[in-house]
Amino acid sequence: MMKKPKITYVSKSKIYPAFGDAHESPPRIKIREDLPKAVKKYVLEHEKYHIKDWQRLAKENKKYNWVWGEIKACVYGVLKHPLGALLCGIMTLHPYRLKFYLQRIKKGE
């Protein structure tokens, strides 16, 4: 069983340039409060996966590989919140484009 992480929403300046951050023990997750809702949901699932992954590996006495861990957490997050992952990707690459998309969505074109 996974120990429930404590989740806190923090200001952009606290964890910039990251969107979220996970800590193994005690299990804690920080998420940037100014992100769009869908992105926050995606980041939360992503960070939750990291903690589950770390706890499982620790129990099995296995070494953590951060590249593989990142890939697994991303895939898991994408499956749970595809829209949030998509927005997250757009924001990572081109923040100005997200603004453009949001304006278009609002205008409905």
- What residues line the site for Zn ion (CB under 5 A)? 73
Nearer to Zn ion, 73 or 78 (CB): 73
Report, in Å, the least distance between residue 47 CB and Zn ion: 7
Contacts of 63 (CB under 8 A, 6+ apart): 57
How far apart are the C-alpha atoms of 93 and 80, rounded to whole Å? 21
Nearer to Zn ion, 66 or 103 (CB): 66
Report, in Å, the least distance between residue 73 CB and Zn ion: 5
Nearer to Zn ion, 79 or 102 (CB): 79
Report, in Å, the least distance between residue 94 CB and Zn ion: 20
Nearer to Zn ion, 48 or 98 (CB): 48
CA distances from 23 to 51, 82, 99 (A): 7, 24, 31
Closest-by-Cβ residue to Zn ion is: 73
Contacts of 51 (CB under 8 A, 6+ apart): 2, 3, 5, 22, 24, 27, 29
Q: What is the CA radius of gyration of the chain?
A: 15
